[in-house]
């Protein structure tokens, strides 16, 4: 395309230059002929005719009958016997034309212009065209040899510039090739130039960092799950081996109860892991259904009639609190929060549902237990996190309950946090009210 552009541009330039030079020599020749006409009209015409710019001039008078005439005057080099233009063609020779001057003893090609002086008289002016042709030929040769050189120069510059621009891309490609399963924590090279490639490299490295973090969390989850599974399995194996080695001295009902307890613990862990896996798979794609959060909380609280502590539930003024969500997921949120509160409460657990300004539904679960230090209130939402006081086998599950609560609430467009209840601990869940706040709106601070 560059070659075609240069070629077309060169042709247009040469054609334009030739036309300009030709028009210039024609105008100069015509002006010299008109100058002779002016001298003739003023009666000051010298003989021989005045010469400028190397032109040849003839003053011709045609016979009234046409077809013949005579040369009245001429410049010093002008022929006084033979006109530069045949007599018969002089009246119609209104446009400039080329003339071979050699038959008239003139050098090379010439441009001839005929100007009428009135009363059958005409001035013929001829100017040599050799210098103009030499200029045009020189320009053509310069374009013929110069344009290819210019094309090569531009191609080389384009190659260097594009290569320099694509070099960081090649470095990114090599860096991406070097990232394998064994070297997955490497980063792509970031160019020093602050351009789009730099932004691309930074964005890709951020993506790799997020993938690395997700991979680390996945590996940690697998490791923690394996650790949690090992304890009840080891307990079951130990109890059964002891019972089989000493069958006469084994209390089989007590052994069965212990095995059943560890089996239930394994079952709860498997259910929690499955719940987390489902939350990760359908993140951002929760099935929405309009439901009454207050009625849901009251119904769940009624299941704890035989709990070791009293569990009460209340709804704010105005009755129902509509939200959009999946009933099974929100029920699990309530169960996990109430189970956690019952496990640590001294005498009572209260569940409350109400409204908050800004179109948010608020669910709180409060216990009167020892509470959690402020420094640990955010940490307990991490997976497999249990405080030191809760690490005994009877203290609770595997540390996935609050993690499931947070993942579920955030999938529904809300958030959850813990706060001091003085005494005790309060879990506060905020969810968008149905019809008031768009699902996924910003969470209030």
Tell me the mean pLDDT in the region 352-371: 87
Looking at residue 444, what is its pLDDT?
A: 39
Better-scored residue on pLDDT, 395 or 342: 342
Q: 293-339: per-residue pLDDT in tens?
A: 889 999 999 998 888 999 998 886 656 788 888 888 899 899 999 98
Looking at residue 283, what is its pLDDT?
A: 62
Looking at residue 443, what is its pLDDT?
A: 38
Residue positions counted in the chain: 445
Report the share of the chain in percent with pLDDT over 90. 16
pLDDT band at 392 (very low <50, low <70, confident <90, very high): very low
Better-scored residue on pLDDT, 139 or 272: 139
Cα(384)–Cα(374) distance, integer angstroms: 19
Looking at residue 183, what is its pLDDT?
A: 65
Place of tokens 């030739």: 18
Looking at residue 268, what is its pLDDT?
A: 78
Say if residues 45 and 39 touch (Cβ distance below 8 Å): yes
* Listed range (6-15, 135-144, 268-277) with the worst mean pLDDT: 268-277
Looking at residue 114, what is its pLDDT?
A: 92
Joined together, the tokens standing for residue 24 give: 């210039």
Torsion, Cα of 390, 393, 395, 396 (10° steps):
100
Cα(215)–Cα(334) distance, integer angstroms: 30
Joined together, the tokens standing for residue 15 give: 């054609």
Tell me the mean pLDDT in the region 376-400: 65
State the chain's mean pLDDT as an integer: 83
Cα-flanking dihedrals φ and ψ of residue 189, to 5°? -70, 135
The answer, yes or no, to whether residue 441 has pLDDT greater than 50, is no
Residues 6+ apart with CB under 8 A from 358: 437, 444
Q: Please give the angle made by the CA atoms of 25, 29 and 32, to the nearest 5 degrees.
A: 145
Say if residues 346 and 362 touch (Cβ distance below 8 Å): no
Tell me the mean pLDDT in the region 7-29: 91
Say if residues 338 and 311 touch (Cβ distance below 8 Å): yes
Largest CA distance in the chain: 159
Tell me the mean pLDDT in the region 36-41: 90
* Listed range (14-28, 118-132, 217-231, 347-361) with the worst mean pLDDT: 217-231
The answer, yes or no, to whether residue 389 has pLDDT greater than 70, is no
pLDDT band at 393 (very low <50, low <70, confident <90, very high): very low
Looking at residue 230, what is its pLDDT?
A: 81
Say if residues 85 and 116 touch (Cβ distance below 8 Å): no
Q: For residue 109, give the nearest of 100, 117, 118 by alpha carbon.
A: 100
Looking at residue 440, what is its pLDDT?
A: 39
Residue 86, CA distances (Å) to 60, 93, 227, 274, 348 in order: 10, 10, 118, 111, 131
Cα(105)–Cα(118) distance, integer angstroms: 29
DSSP three-state, residue 368: coil
* Listed range (74-78, 104-108, 140-144, 258-262) with the worst mean pLDDT: 104-108
The answer, yes or no, to whether residue 163 has pLDDT greater than 60, is yes
Cα(168)–Cα(369) distance, integer angstroms: 60
Looking at residue 338, what is its pLDDT?
A: 92
Q: 249-306: per-residue pLDDT in tens?
A: 888 888 898 889 888 888 877 887 777 777 766 665 667 788 888 899 999 999 988 8
Eight-class DSSP state of 99: E
Tell me the mean pLDDT in the region 144-168: 88
pLDDT band at 122 (very low <50, low <70, confident <90, very high): very high
DSSP string, 169-180: HHHHHHHHHH--
CB atoms within 10 A of CB 401: 23
Looking at residue 182, what is its pLDDT?
A: 65
Cα(127)–Cα(75) distance, integer angstroms: 12
Place of tokens 């059958």: 120
Looking at residue 445, what is its pLDDT?
A: 34
The answer, yes or no, to whether residue 353 has pLDDT greater than 70, is yes
Q: Which domains does the chain have, with CATH numbers?
A: 1-134 (3.30.450), 196-282 (1.10.287.130), 289-432 (3.30.565.10)
Tell me the mean pLDDT in the region 432-444: 53
pLDDT band at 439 (very low <50, low <70, confident <90, very high): very low
The answer, yes or no, to whether residue 186 has pLDDT greater than 80, is no
The answer, yes or no, to whether residue 69 has pLDDT greater than 60, is yes
């Amino acid at each position: 395309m560059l070659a075609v552009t240069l070629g077309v541009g060169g042709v247009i330039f040469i054609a334009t230059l030739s036309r300009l030079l030709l028009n210039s020599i024609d105008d100069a020749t015509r002006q010299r002929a008109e100058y002779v006409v002016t001298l003739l009209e003023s009666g000051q015409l010298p003989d021989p005719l005045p010469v400028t710019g190397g032109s040849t001039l003839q003053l011709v008078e045609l016979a009234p009958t046409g077809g013949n005439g005579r040369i009245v005057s001429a410049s010093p080099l002008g022929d006084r016997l033979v006109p530069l233009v045949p007599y018969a063609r002089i009246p119609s020779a209104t446009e400039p034309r080329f003339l071979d001057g050699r038959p008239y003893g003139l050098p090379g090609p010439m441009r001839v212009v005929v100007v009428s002086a009135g009363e059958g008289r005409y001035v013929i002016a001829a100017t040599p065209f050799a210098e103009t042709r030499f200029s045009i030929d020189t320009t053509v040769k310069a374009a013929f040899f110069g344009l290819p050189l210019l094309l090569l120069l531009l191609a080389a510059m384009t190659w260097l510039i594009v290569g320099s621009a694509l070099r960081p891309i090649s470095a990114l490609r090599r860096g991406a090739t070097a990232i394998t399963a064994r070297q997955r924590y490497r980063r792509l090279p970031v160019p020093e130039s602050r351009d789009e490639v730099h932004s691309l490299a930074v964005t890709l490295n951020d993506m790799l960092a997020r993938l690395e973090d997700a991979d680390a969390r996945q590996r940690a989850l697998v490791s923690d799950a394996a650790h949690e599974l090992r304890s009840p399995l080891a307990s079951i194996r130990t109890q059964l081996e002891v019972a089989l080695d000493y069958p006469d001295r084994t209390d089989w009902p007590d052994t069965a109860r212990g095995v059943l307890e560890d089996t239930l613990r394994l079952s709860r862990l498997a259910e929690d892991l499955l719940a987390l896996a489902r939350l990760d798979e359908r993140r951002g794609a929760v099935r929405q259904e309009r439901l009454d959060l207050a009625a849901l909380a009251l119904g769940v609280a009624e299941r704890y009639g035989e709990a070791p502590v009293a569990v009460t539930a209340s709804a704010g003024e105005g009755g129902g609190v509509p939200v959009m969500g999946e009933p099974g997921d929100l029920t699990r949120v309530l169960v996990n929060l109430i189970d956690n509160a019952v496990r640590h409460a001294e005498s009572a657990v209260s569940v409350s549902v109400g409204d908050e300004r800004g179109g948010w539904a608020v669910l709180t679960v409060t216990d009167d237990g020892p509470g959690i230090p402020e420094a640990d209130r955010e940490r307990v939402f991490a997976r497999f996190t249990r405080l030191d006081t809760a690490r005994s086998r009877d203290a609770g599950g595997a540390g996935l309950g609050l993690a499931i609560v947070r993942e579920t609430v955030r999938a529904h467009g809300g958030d959850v946090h813990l706060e001091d209840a003085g005494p005790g601990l309060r879990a506060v869940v905020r969810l968008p009210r149905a019809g008031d706040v768009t699902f996924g709106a910003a969470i209030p601070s």
